[in-house]
Amino acid sequence: MEDFQRYRDEAEKALFIADHMLTVTYPLVQDTKILLSVLLNIHKGLKLAVMSILSHELIFKRIPAYPQDFGSQLELFEARATRRYDITPEYIQLIRKINDVVEMHKTSPMEFTRKDKFVICSDNYRLSSISKDQLKDHLSKAKLFIGEMKHIVGKHERIFR
């Protein structure tokens, strides 16, 4: 199995986990900390989808070898793959937005829950909140992006069997 196929499968699995947590686990448990896990799984799925397309492009030598940090990968993806496969800028904005919230979570000194939201506070007291409705919207867009990614990398699936 090639890297792009493994990334594709892992991206689908991450979004399945996020969907299950949001639609089944969260209504059952009603713990807003689960919303953070949902966001992290959506982020993982989007990141793996980008890596799948880049790995696919690398196999066919359409792009040079790329660094392993996600910021550089996203820039390369935006510069090369979005034009080639006609990927809308809305997906790039979604990926950047979710990546910013995850990075904010990693460096935040304080996080708390308020009503039905999970709030992340930065060093300079900039707040970012995560709600169930936001995550539903992000998840639906992420599923569409994963669908496009599967279509892109699935074109040459039979070559690698």
Structure tokens at 131: 């709600």
* Overall number of domains in the chain: 1
Quote the mean pLDDT of the chain.
93
Question: Residue 126 falls within a domain, yes or no?
Answer: no
Residue 119 in any domain: the answer is: no
Domain annotation covers residue 120: no
> What is residue 131's predicted lDDT score, i.e. its pLDDT?
95
- The tens digit of pLDDT for each residue in 78-117 reads 998 888 999 999 999 999 999 999 999 999 999 999 989 9
Distance (Å, whole) CA 21 – CA 110: 24
Domain containing residue 69: 3-99+132-160
Q: What is the CATH number of the domain that holds 8?
A: 1.20.120
Domain annotation covers residue 141? yes
- Whether 23 is covered by a domain: the verdict is yes
Site of tokens 């989007």: 46
The whole-number pLDDT of residue 159 equals: 72
> What pLDDT is stored for residue 125 in this prediction?
84
Q: Residues 20-43: what's their mean pLDDT?
A: 96
Q: Which amino acid is at 77?
A: F
pLDDT digits (tens, 9 = 90+) for 114-134: 989 999 998 888 899 999 999
Three-class secondary structure of residue 119 per DSSP: strand
Asked, for residue 122, whether it belongs to a domain, the answer is no
The span from the CA of 79 to the CA of 131, in Å, is 31
Residue 1: per-residue pLDDT: 74
CB 18 within 8 A of CB 145: no
Residue 74 lies in a domain: yes
**160 — pLDDT class (breaks 50, 70, 90):** low
Give the pLDDT of residue 146: 96
User: pLDDT band for position 155 (50/70/90)?
Assistant: confident
The mean pLDDT of 131-142, rounded to a whole number, is 97
Confidence of residue 8 (pLDDT cuts 50, 70, 90): very high
Segment among 38-47, 120-129, 140-149 with least mean pLDDT = 120-129
Q: Is residue 114 part of a domain?
A: no
Q: What is the pTM of this model?
A: 0.94
